[in-house]
Amino acid sequence: MDVLIAVADPVRREIIELLRGRPMTAGEIAAAFPISRPAISRHLRVLREQGLAVDRASDTDGRGRIYRLDVGPLTEIQKWISSLRGFDPFDALETEVRRTRRERQASTRTNPSTRRSTA
């Protein structure tokens, strides 16, 4: 569950959102924040260590790093949250829709003046 710690920080969540759009260099990522490049590097290191960010050498000069998002580690969090819910949210929605239909039908039967005219 160290992935939870990694995504707990709002800056790291913003980095994840940025990387969701496209792979980016560390410089591009740092330019999106009002904090220092060393601070961004520390955040990127945490994301890399948890497998949420994957880096490779830049094609242009080989010195820079290009980061991309890997959502695989988030699967663990998703499974854990689902186990806490104990139900499928669409099941709850279906139950609510059926309840509302029953109430409308019962209301229409007991008070015919609430029926809509089709004319």
Angle between helices 10-21 and 37-49 (to 10 degrees): 80
- What is the dihedral angle through the alpha carbons of 42, 45, 49, 50, rounded to the nearest 10 degrees? 70
Q: Find out whether 55 and 69 touch, Cβ atoms under 8 Å.
A: no
Q: State the architecture of 2-72 in CATH terms.
A: Orthogonal Bundle (1.10)
Task: Please state the pTM of the whole predicted model.
Answer: 0.67
The predicted-structure confidence for 30-54, as pLDDT tens digits, reads as follows: 999 999 999 999 999 999 999 999 9
The domain segmentation of the chain, as residue ranges, is 2-72, 85-112
Contact 45, 59 (CB under 8 A): no
Quickly count: other Cβ atoms within 10 Å of residue 11's Cβ: 14
| pLDDT bracket for residue 61 (50, 70, 90) | low
